[in-house]
Structure 1
Amino acid sequence: MSSPESGNLAYLILLGAVLVFWLFVQNRDSLGKKAQAAAAWGLIFLGTIAGIGLWDDIRQTVAPQQAVFADQGRVELPRAPDGHYYVTLTLNGAPVRFVVDTGASGIVLTRDDALRAGLDLQGLAFYATAMTANGPVQTAPVEIAQMSLGPFSDSEVRAYVNDGEMDESLLGMTYLQRFKRLEISGGKMILER
């Protein structure tokens, strides 16, 4: 334990001791009920301290985050509680969240994500058809000038904008094949170039 941690612990113990001492001095007549209240407050205090100490672990479990290891040329995507893998890429300078879909052949953007990436939706022609689990949908081909995932950057990336309703943009195999290694192991998807 480091010096700051030891100092914080000593301060919390001293503060707790002072509060307990004050409680007993003020309420000498009804110590039984006060002891119960003190025990309850002590448990609340310990629970709060435990929650603060474990917050990073709790946050990672509830909302796992992607990790980029630029020096190793690797990106790790944790499996989300819903079983999918999500990744945030930068499209033309704007962050866009994708669900990784190894069953999709291309990159498919929602209308909102296409706007966020600076694409002009007015000039799009929705003439292409894509087959989805829910049937055919109309799509418009687009080109993303700059697409980045951590240290990995690609120019002039072909994608499609979906004309139908879609909750998340899809990152399909045309992008995933740019990596020399894709592995799913231990609840993580690992991408390496």
Structure 2
Amino acid sequence: MRLSAASSLGLLVLAACTSDRPVVTAEKELITPEMRRSREAAAALRESGGIWCERCNLVVLSQHDCGVTVPCETCRQEAATPHVHGLTRYCPACRREAGRAHVCGVTAFCFAPTCLREAAAHHVCDLTRFCENCKQEVGQDHVCGETAWCPTCRAEVSNGSALKHICGKTHFCQECRREVYDEHVCVER
């Protein structure tokens, strides 16, 4: 049985999780007849509320997005590619896989093996993280409401003190809790 290019182009393959480690599926891999879901798996999906999708030619779940998602039997949810079992879920608004801390239009999931989490603009693997309070990517020394990540300096800088940050000339002083010139020496209080 051959699949037409149109019906197989948007489909993806989700590998079953065989260990506790997250498994990232291959991007935009075409489904071959050998990869098709077994009749037993399709029957189990149907018994648990699955429905037949005429366009995709397989049993899907209610959150199915034709050509974008297929059921992940391990996670028991519709998933897009790439998908990480237990860490990502499909966001219908963004039409892509997203992590637990996903904010529509702000974050995207970083699939780098050292990250595997939601990230915002100016994300740097192993240097920044997403601050859910500030809704932005931040550095290790982040102070909510007071600092922001400078991608040029690769450091947290003040986002509200009288002295505005100047790359290469100022930095955020953790002691004084304000932006200061690089020559700054903290005065004991």
TM-score bracket relative to the smaller structure = under 0.3
* TM-score normalised by structure 2 residue count: 0.28
1 or 2 for the larger relative contact order (CA 8 Å, sep ≥6)? 1
Larger radius of gyration: 1
* TM-score normalised by structure 1 residue count: 0.27
- Structure with the higher helix share, 1 or 2: 1
- Structure with the higher strand share, 1 or 2: 1
